[in-house]
Amino acid sequence: MGAMDRSVLWRAALLQALLVTAFAVVLGGALRRSFFEDWGWLAGPGVWAACALAVAAALRLPASGVLAGAALAGLPSLATVVAGAHWAGAPLAIALFALWCARLAARDRTPTAAAA
């Protein structure tokens, strides 16, 4: 396994989990179930991406790289959505997202040969 910034790993996981949970609680309380049945396919990934951008800003990571990682990390959880167990995929998606951010941080903070 490649270089990883473990501090970023844990902070990214915690922040993404807290932000996604907070959005879920607020939106779940404010909107009717029918909204999620009709628009969940858009709202879910939109909230996931917005939370990822907040993590990128908080951890000073490149937004484009973090969004790419968020998209890839969210793909395996699609199977749980299709199976009707939507939240079952969230822990895996958060873990994969945090790993991506940790690797991204280590890569971006490693001096290049040209800079040496």
Q: What is the pLDDT of residues 50-106, one digit of tens each?
A: 999 999 999 999 999 999 999 999 998 888 888 888 788 899 999 999 999 999 999
* CA separation for the pair 79, 101 (Å, rounded): 23
Range of the domain at 63: 6-108
Report the alpha-carbon angle 107-65-114, nearest 5: 40
> Model confidence over 32-63: pLDDT tens digits?
988 888 877 788 899 999 999 999 999 999 99
Residue 98 lies in a domain: yes
Neighbours of 35 (CB within 10 A): 13
Nearest to 8 by CA among 59, 46, 73, 49: 59
> Amino acid identity, residue 72?
L
The tally of domains found in the chain comes to 1
Residue 67 lies in a domain: yes
| pTM of the predicted protein model | 0.85
Q: Does residue 55 contact residue 16 with C-beta atoms inside 8 Å? A: yes
Q: How confident is the model at residue 112 (pLDDT cuts 50, 70, 90)?
A: low
Residue 115 lies in a domain: no
Task: Provide the token pair at 92.
Answer: 């895996």
Residue 97 lies in a domain: yes
Residue 12 lies in a domain: yes
